[in-house]
Amino acid sequence: MAQACRLGLLLALLLPVVGASMPGTVVRLNEAALSYVSEIGKAPLQRALQVTVPDFLDRSGERLRPTRIQILNVHVPHIHLKFIAGFGVRLSAAANFTFKVFRGPEHLELLLPVVLQADVHVAQGSIGTPVVSISTCFSLFDNAIVLDGSNSMAPALLVPLQQHINAVLRDKLCLSIASLVQDLNVHMGTVIGLTPVGPESQIRYSVVNVPNITNDYISLDLNAVLFLLGKPIVLPLDVTPFVLPEHVGTIGAMATVGLSQDLFDSALLLLQKAGALNLDITGQLKSDDNPLNTSMLGQLIPEVARQFPEPMPVVLKARLGATPVAMLRTNNATLRLQPFVEVLVPASNSAFQSLFSLDVVVTLSLQLSVSKVKLQATTSVLGDVQLTVASSNVGFIDTDQVHALVGTVFEKPLLDHLNALLGIGIGLPSVVNLQYVTPEVSVYEGYVVISGGLLYQR
């Protein structure tokens, strides 16, 4: 099984592990990914080809003489992978087998060059995973070479010996590859595993249709479902299936991942329902950094000074009523929040007394990045924070006067809170031990593209 998982990279990285459609994600893997797989797949393939060869029965004498044969080494100098349009991937490999033949007082060593070819079909599994299977497989054998220093062998014996080895390997090599592919499907099952987003939330990806395979790339559409307390987050409106345009992303990248607007909308709806975007900001009486107290407010609102002649700390309780809105425009991603902010002071009965409330609108710039297998973001405020008085228990409030004070004490805690939250990141589709490297994130009209390399580590 360990060899299967390692050799699984031969095909695992060929499978798009991301997707599209309600809400959608799409992944394309191109020929650069195939080249990467070819290089790192040599060692696992060599280990997989170390099969057992049964004894050769020498019939040249008066009685049968069993001759033990052992594979000393398998060297794979070359692997070539290419896409088969509408089907999957073709694997061609050159392998050199070194055998030791235990015959007589001196052992014989043979070198046997073999060419392997297998066609791997990529399909959609019934449980939402990519499924791979061997369609055809065969081996081509060259003539065995007796290595220097080995005992000589009569051609009459060498020919049947190689025929024996060829017959054994012809079946065993393809069976080994087929077994590895079947084990790989277990590995592929990790695509649909739940990935934590927060303490009570997860995301799960699943394949929603058959793969799109051309001569240049393989692409898969996945459905991304976010869960809060085990319940799926469902967008209030029907969404349109996401189609990733043909020519986007960095030229020469191994993987191109498209994330639709709907995925961002679902993630923000999850954060809203979880209450993760709510925020309490508490003022301190003796703090130059946070002038949230009744003395400061009393200088702007006379009724506050009258009701609270002694300084009292003030609390801003921000609650998100409206769902946040992510806006994806070419080279520009923004986030619009509309929190309802209540301004409170502690009362004598351990409750809070409301002074006034504000409808707030803040627009933030989103800077997106990828770390290993997570999409992360940082924010900064664009323009002014907009304030409108919703209600007041302290008479007339001049919004212009309180804007500077409330905006100042509200903006920094909000950014700190959002950046800590968005810095946790949301998991991108992946299989175990696979991550994205040197990713570039580009924003287009209605979707985001991540393009870069892949790294598989055990």
Report the domain count for the chain: 2
In a domain, 320, yes or no: yes
Q: What are 173-226's pLDDT values in tens digits?
A: 999 888 878 877 887 777 777 888 888 899 998 888 899 999 999 998 988 899
Q: In this model, does residue 18 exceed pLDDT 70?
A: no
Q: Which CATH number fits the domain that encloses residue 296?
A: 3.15.20.10
In terms of C-beta distances under 8 Å and separation of at least 24 residues, what long-range contacts does 395-399 make, across chains too? 395/301, 395/302, 395/303, 397/301, 397/356, 398/300
In a domain, 360, yes or no: yes
Same domain, 339 and 206: yes
Query: Hey, what are 53's tokens?
Result: 């060869």
Same domain, 166 and 208: no
Same domain, 260 and 291: yes
Same domain, 386 and 247: yes
Same domain, 180 and 234: no
Same domain, 48 and 186: yes
Report how far residue 215's alpha carbon sits from residue 226's, in angstroms, rounded to the nearest whole number: 34
In a domain, 164, yes or no: yes
| Cβ atoms 452, 372 nearer than 8 A | no
Same domain, 175 and 271: no
As beta bridge partners, residue 84 has: 88
In a domain, 19, yes or no: no
pLDDT at 184: 77
Query: Hey, what are 238's tokens?
Result: 């029907």
Q: What are 230-288's pLDDT values in tens digits?
A: 898 888 766 678 889 888 888 889 999 999 999 999 999 999 999 999 999 886 655 55
pTM: 0.84
Range(s) of the domain holding residue 274: 202-456
Q: Which CATH number fits the domain that encloses residue 172?
A: 3.15.10.10
Same domain, 329 and 351: yes
- Beta-strand pair 24-30/217-228: antiparallel
Distances (CA, A) of 95 to 45, 113, 134, 176, 380: 9, 6, 19, 14, 56
Nearest-10 Cα torsion for 336, 342, 344, 347: -140
Which of the listed residues 190, 219, 247 is the one where a domain comes to its end?
A: 190
Q: In this model, does residue 2 exceed pLDDT 70?
A: no
Which of the listed residues 190, 213, 236 is the one where a domain comes to its end?
A: 190
Same domain, 102 and 248: no
**Nearest C-alpha neighbor of 44 from the set 145, 181, 224, 243:** 181
| Cβ atoms 257, 27 nearer than 8 A | yes
Same domain, 242 and 364: yes
- Beta-strand pair 374-392/434-444: unpaired
As beta bridge partners, residue 14 has: none
Same domain, 342 and 370: yes
The rounded percent of the chain whose pLDDT value lies above 90 is 51
In a domain, 3, yes or no: no
In a domain, 450, yes or no: yes
Encode burial over 228-263: b for 16+ CB neighbours within 10 A, e otherwise.
Answer: beeeebeeeeebeebebeeeebbeebbbbbbbbbbb
Q: pLDDT: is 27 or 241 the higher one?
A: 27
In a domain, 22, yes or no: no
| Cβ atoms 1, 183 nearer than 8 A | yes
pLDDT tier, 21 (very low <50, low <70, confident <90, very high otherwise): very low
Which of the listed residues 190, 224, 256 is the one where a domain comes to its end?
A: 190
In a domain, 263, yes or no: yes
Same domain, 159 and 267: no
